[in-house]
A and B are shown apart, each in its own frame.
Chain A
Amino acid sequence: MMRRDEAFRTLAELRGDAVVVSTYTSAFEWMKAARSPLNFVSVGVMGQASSHGLGLALGMPDHKVIVLDGDGSLLMNLGTLVTIANAAPRNLVHFVVENGCYEANGSHPIPGQGRVSFAGMARAAGFAKVYEFDGLNRFAAELPEVLSVPGPVFATLKVVAGDPPPQDYELIHGPGVRAAFRAAIRPFLSRS
């Protein structure tokens, strides 16, 4: 297992100008690791981060789009794996941050905790490339490949929580962050 905050700091170093779609606890953690107007937060409707990511990936096909999903969130929208694999955006990387619980709602275990294989589901759904990471060293070593191979790419990050991130709901729910995101991606749209 690796700490989620350490995994996110590692990703932040290589993120470049990629759009990053995060959700719930991963959103708070990601905002702490890598504040950027190119961060898009999918909250208010659980399970929809990857579908937002697919829409963004289709809308800016020459730009990298990274999704930081949760395992509980993915369970609420499992069909997304098949939809993404079928749409086959080469620029989409779908990370699932696996902590085995609904951390934002009291840390109750997800169904199938410790038994379900999200990577296995992604393979069966037809993702172009699937990775599983449970340690920081291998994640850091293989991350450049994960971010550069043609997608759609799926990767699970088996994590434990790090230091609790600040929970600034205005930062993830407020209209200002969405307006900033819209403005931030505009220069990249003209190149897509």
Chain B
Amino acid sequence: MPGLEGPRGSEIIAAIKAAGVTHVAALPDITTSAGLLWPLSKDTSLKLVRLSKEDEGVSICAGLSYCDVRAVLLMQHTGFLDSMNAIRGIAVEYGLPICMVVGLLQKEPDRPPAQSARFGVRIMEPICAAMGIDYFCIEGSEDVARLAPAIERAYATSRPLVAMIGRTVRP
């Protein structure tokens, strides 16, 4: 669909590197699989920690943050919802810079998350708002520029971040 192309994975990888991220904890998500996770998994300058479940990633990123090592947790929005208690306790209540890049499975490319017909997608922003989590949505390449400053802000303020991916990431 012209004009509704998703971001490029190379742009997202460059953005997280620019923010000083060296580790990525991840579970595959079809929105980001081909364009982001596969290229990222071949990038030897990033350490990929393959997860069995998403809430492990919250804790792994927390442990790394105590060591002044920056990390991103890459997952699908269903994994975010499944990890709610870990995000509540570790990221929000303990105030840690858990930076989550969250693919919005089946979000319509021409609608913002709040207007999606998919219930799980539609509730993402209200949940983040209710928990006081900084969030925004990357729909296309023009939005990727917000990612590095948002990660920097998360670490500067020791607060979690959710960067949603609203369209399929292009290789």
A-B contacts, CB under 8 A, total:
94
Asked if residues A58 and B60 are in contact (CB atoms below 8 Å), the reply is yes
- CB-based nearest B residue for A182: B66
Contacts of B61 in A (CB 8 A): 55
User: Which residue of A44, A79, A181, A185 contacts B89 across the interface (Cβ within 8 Å)?
Assistant: A44
Q: Which residues of B contact A59 (CB under 8 A)?
A: 63-64, 66-69
CB neighbours (8 Å) of B53 from chain A are: 77, 79
Instruction: State in angstroms the CA–CA spacing of A40 and B69 once bound together.
Output: 17
Measured between alpha carbons, how far is A51 from B55 in the docked complex, in Å? Answer: 9
Within A9-56, the residues touching B (CB, 8 Å) are 40, 42, 44-45, 47-48, 51-56
Chain B interface category by residue count: 20 to 34
- B residues less than 8 Å from A175 (CB atoms): 94
B51 within 8 A of A: yes
- The size class of the interface chain A forms with chain B is 20 to 34
Separation of A44 and B62 alpha carbons in the complex (Å): 14
Q: Are A55 and B52 in contact (CB under 8 A)?
A: no
Residue from the list B23, B58, B68 in contact with A58, Cβ < 8 A: B23
Is A189 at the interface (CB under 8 A from chain B)?
Answer: yes
Cβ proximity bits A125-137 to B, threshold 8 Å, 1 near / 0 not:
0000000000000
- Decide: A60 and B67 in contact? CB cutoff 8 A: yes
Q: In the bound complex, what is the Cα–Cα distance between A77 and B51 (angstroms)? A: 11
B58 to chain A: which residues have CB within 8 Å? Answer: 45, 48, 51
CB-CB < 8 A to A51: which residues of B? 55-60, 63
The interface residues of chain B lying within 8 Å CB-to-CB of A42 are 59
Q: CB of B90 within 8 A of chain A?
A: yes
Q: Does A113 contact B (CB under 8 A)?
A: no
CA A53 – CA B67 in complex, angstroms? 12
**Quick one: closest A residue to B83, CB to CB?**
A45
- Pick from A40, A44, A82, A178: contact of B52, CB under 8 Å: A82
Beta-carbon contact of A44 and B93 below 8 Å? yes
Contacts of B93 in A (CB 8 A): 44
Are the CB atoms of A181 and B66 closer together than 8 Å? yes
**B85 contacts chain A at the CB level, 8 A cutoff:** yes
Which of A59, A80, A182, A189 counts the most B-chain CB atoms under 10 A from its CB? A59
Q: Does B17 contact A (CB under 8 A)?
A: no
Q: How far is the CA of A48 from the CA of B64 in the complex (A)?
A: 14
The residues in B between 84 and 105 inclusive whose CB is less than 8 angstroms from any CB of A are 85-86, 88-90, 93-94
Query: Within B5-26, which residues are at the interface with A (CB < 8 Å)?
Result: 23
Looking at B53, B58, B63, which has the most chain A CB atoms within 10 Å of its CB? B63
Residues in A whose Cβ lies below 8 Å from that of B145: none
Contacts of A53 in B (CB 8 A): 63
Tell whether A83 is near chain B: CB-to-CB under 8 Å: yes
A86 within 8 A of B: yes
Closest chain B residue to A51, Cβ basis: B59
Q: Does B117 make an interface contact (CB < 8 A)?
A: no
For the complex of A and B, the 9 pairs showing the least CB-CB separation, nearest first, are A55-B63, A79-B52, A59-B67, A51-B59, A44-B89, A55-B60, A56-B63, A45-B89, A48-B59
Can you sample 12 A-B contacts with CB below 8 Å? A51-B55, A51-B56, A51-B59, A52-B59, A54-B56, A54-B59, A55-B66, A58-B23, A79-B51, A80-B56, A182-B66, A185-B67
Query: What would 8 more interface pairs be, CB under 8 Å, given A45-B55, A45-B86, A80-B56?
Result: A45-B88, A45-B89, A48-B90, A51-B57, A51-B60, A56-B66, A86-B50, A185-B67
